[in-house]
Every structure is written in C-alpha cells, then in structure tokens.
Amino acid sequence: MATRVKAAEPKHVVFDARVHAINSRSSDGTTHLTLRDEGHFIGTIIDPGIAESSTLEAAVNVNRESLVRVYGSYVPDERVRHSPNNINGLPSVRVWKLTTIGVAIKDLRHNLVSHGAPGDELEQHDALLLNERLNSRVLDLRVATNGAIIKPFSGIYELTVEYLTGHGFDYITTPSLIGYKVPGDDDYFEVPYFNDRKAYLTQTGELYLGQALSAGLERIFEIHTVFCREAGPSTRHLTEFTALEIAFALEHDWLEKREKYRHQLALVRRLFPSAGRFKLSVDENGRLPRVTFRDAKRILREELGFEIYIQADLSWEEEKALGNYLPSADSIYGASTDVYSITHHPKHLRPYNVQPVSRDNEQPLTYSFDITLGGQEAASGFQVINDYKVLRPAMAGRNPPFDLNDPQWQPFLSAYEAGAPLQGGSGIGLNRLLQSILGLPDIRETTSFPRDATRLEP
C-alpha cells in the first residue's frame, strides 16, 4: 500500500489497494470492504454520514480485485474489535473518499490459492492445480505467497551483478540468434532467417565467451535467456529460462571457486514450509564440501544401497538421494550441508572442450564440477581446453564429430589459433537455483509466465 497500514497510528492516511472482499452493504448505505496489498489486509468503513456522494456510488459499484485509492482515518482498536462487520480484528479505516483506479469485471474468477487473509484457510501446494493457476497467471501472482516467489529472482540477479562487477568481471552480451548447432544436438529451436538461411535460438554463449577471453578480456559474465527444446513437461525443466554464464582466464591450471529477502521468504513459507531452510557448510578455507564423481557413486552403492553403473551420469533419483544423505547425521563427510560440489566427472559425461585430467584406472577424468543444492544440480563448471592443438582433435573425435572444414567453426577455432589463455567457466540456471533455494516442487513457479513443451500462453 502507498501508506503501510498500522492500527496503532490514529492518523489520516492515503493508500492504494485492491478490493479483497465486499463484507457487507447495509440498509443505511454503509459499506464494509476488506482491502489487500502484498499480503497486508485492512478493513474499511464507508459511512453515508462521512463519505462523499461519489465515494458512496463507487463503493456500491466496486467489484472484487478492483484497484482503489483510499482517503480516510484509522478507527481505534477497541471499536474495531466489537464491530460485527470486521473480519477477525483487522485494522480499519473510516473512509471519506474512495476512487476506483482500475476497474475489475464483476464475475472475475476466484483464486485457487488463498491470499491468507485472517479467517481464510491456507492451502498447501497442490500440483494438480498448478496448470489451472498458470492459466490465470496475473491473478495468481497477486497472491502474495506466489508473487513473493518471483521477487527473490530479482535479488539473485542484483547480488550476482554486484558481486561479479565488484570482483573485476565485465558484463558482455552474446548473440541469441546463431547460425550453427552442435552436431547431434537436436534440442535447438530453428527459426527462418533472411535469404532462406536457417538460424537457431541460442542455448549458451560459451563459444563467444571463449573468443572474448582470447581477445584479451580476462573476467567476463553474461545473464541471458536460454531456449531449449525439452521434449516433455517436467517439474525441473523449462523451454525458456535464464542462465548466468561466467568465463575467466586462469592464473594456474585449475582455480578453486568460492562460492536478502526475509519478508518474501516468510510469505513463500505459507505454502512451502521448507523455503529457504537449507544448511550451508564450508571448510576452513571457505570451500564447499567436495565429493568426487567416483566417491558419489561409491556412496550410492555402499551407503545407500543403489545398483549403480559407474559409466552412467547421476540420475535425478541418485541426485536426490545424495542430497538427503549429505546433510544427515549419517554422512561420512562430517559437514552437514545441502550445498556441495561433485568434481572430476568422466570425460565422456562432459562436453568435448573440458580439460582432461590424468587417467584414473584407464578412465579419463576432467577438471569439472557440479554444484548441487537440495539434491538438485544448480550449477556446472569446468576448465576449458585452450590449446588449439588439443582442441581440434577433441572436436574431431566427438561423437558425432565436428566438421572442422565447415566455415561456421572457423571464427571459433581462429580465436584459439591466435593464442588463448588458460580458461575456466561455469553456468548457473537461475530458475533452477531459485527453485532449490525456496524448496519449490515445480520450476514453473519461479518465472512470471513460464514456457514448457505444452505452454505458450498466457
């Protein structure tokens, strides 16, 4: 509200709010409304003996969800408490002027999730209702608990930019329209381009970030929209989401990376009690607990009873199991944490351009890591091959291979032929990160207007 309502302040107020409920319209013309703004509620008394005639007319005709501007004065608490028209002792304002700023139609649908007004029953999240809620997303986001999910995303963006720019990183932009796709990858969106050419919506700015490092920029980052053809709907995937990509020149072979919104968390916890309640432990050097990929597989087999295949990547069920085990008292790693890193993945499970490590029992490993939060991968990173004599055979040996004679790859290769620095980088799906932080069951809650394989509206 333009002026936050506090019942203890006996003064004149002016504020904007939405009509939450029309409690009563009595025979003497008095109207009692409950107004709402961002999870705050206040009762109003519109008395013919005090209010302007235009206000009385507006109060008679106003509909739920209309946006109104109120001029009035607070009613003392003891009088509020004994009013039969007041809902559960809400602070109240006696109104002398009310104007309608935004008119809502009369038969507007009710929300599927309660706003949490005093006396309302609070529902917990029901996945079956989510699709219906998303179909009326504007009304859904007016529910403070749902709108509060979106606002920490702004905080993640703000703190990310503040931290990276404060540590010497430069923000750059890379193309969203590209003329290439990695051989064998079929999850690109294709769009028609000029002169009968094909273009694709980008999934990563990695190739351009690497070229920028070779051009002399030492520490760079980008926050951009990613488009990915995820074949089916999922609680963990979107076809359009926001990613943070970081790239930097390394001083050594491998650089170890270290890794506000109280009111919004409190609102989110109305529907999602676990929101924001994760454990974070670091060692004496400020590093997250680290588990090698091989050790993660061993824990799954020996401690958790999984039948594992060492050559296969971690499944979603295995990620969740590790996420439940590591914060527990049974963890052999000592530190109770919901945030940890899994390092040194086998080469066949990482991209072609990840720097290899020496062989471990004939299995090639890589300088790579995944950051897992709440049993769900939230970020990935690795050291990049910077020597073009190593990069070219890595591209040619990929399955399916790159055609190194294709002109579309020459700008990328020439950046490394010109002498590229040692490089590292990481990518973070900000929607997945927010989902993990808030403990949300469905990633679609993290974006105002989500897109997946079944949804192109609203």
**Domain 12-102 bears CATH identifier 1.10.10.10:** no
Q: Is the dihedral of CA 456, 436, 258, 251 positive or negative?
A: negative
* Single pTM value for the model: 0.68
Specify the pLDDT at position 420: 81
Specify the pLDDT at position 89: 62
What architecture is the 144-446 domain classified under in CATH?
Answer: 2-Layer Sandwich (3.30)
| Residues 124-151: tens digit of each pLDDT | 455 557 778 888 888 888 888 788 888 8
The tens-digit pLDDT sequence of the chain (458 residues) is 544 444 444 578 888 998 888 877 677 778 888 888 888 888 888 888 888 888 888 888 888 888 899 998 887 665 555 555 555 567 788 888 888 889 888 877 766 666 666 556 555 455 557 778 888 888 888 888 788 888 888 888 888 888 888 888 889 888 888 888 888 788 889 999 888 888 999 888 888 888 888 888 888 889 988 898 877 667 777 888 888 888 887 654 433 333 334 444 455 455 455 555 556 666 666 677 788 898 889 888 988 888 888 888 888 889 888 887 877 767 666 556 677 788 899 988 888 888 888 665 567 888 888 888 777 787 888 888 888 898 999 988 888 898 999 888 888 888 888 888 888 888 888 888 787 777 777 788 787 778 877 776 66
Specify the pLDDT at position 365: 87
Which of 31, 438, 157 lies closest to 274 in space, CA to CA? 438
Which stretches does DSSP call E strand in 364-413? 368-373, 376-384
User: If you ran DSSP here, which 8-state letter would residue 408 be given?
Assistant: G
Specify the pLDDT at position 69: 92
Rounded to whole angstroms, the Cα distance separating 37 from 133 reads: 20
- Coil, helix or strand at residue 74: strand
Specify the pLDDT at position 388: 87
Residue/partner pairs of 367-370 with CB below 8 Å, 24 or more apart:
367/253, 367/254, 368/343, 368/344, 369/290, 369/341, 369/342, 369/343, 370/341, 370/342, 370/345
Rounded to whole angstroms, the Cα distance separating 402 from 183 reads: 6
Specify the pLDDT at position 369: 86
Which of 393, 385, 387, 386 lies closest to 368 in space, CA to CA? 385
Specify the pLDDT at position 4: 46
> Would you state the structure tokens that stand for residue 347, as one six-digit string?
């080469």
Rounded to whole angstroms, the Cα distance separating 109 from 139 reads: 9
Specify the pLDDT at position 352: 87
- Burial pattern 206-232, b for ≥16 Cβ within 10 A else e, equals bbbbbbbbbeebbebbbbeebbbebee
> Would you state the structure tokens that stand for residue 367, as one six-digit string?
């300088």
Residue 173 class from Cβ within 10 Å (0-12 exposed, 13-18 middle, 19+ buried)? Answer: exposed
Same fold: 12-102 with 144-446: no
Which of 258, 280, 224 lies closest to 369 in space, CA to CA? 258
Annotated domain spans of the chain: 12-102, 144-446
Specify the pLDDT at position 282: 62
Specify the pLDDT at position 360: 52
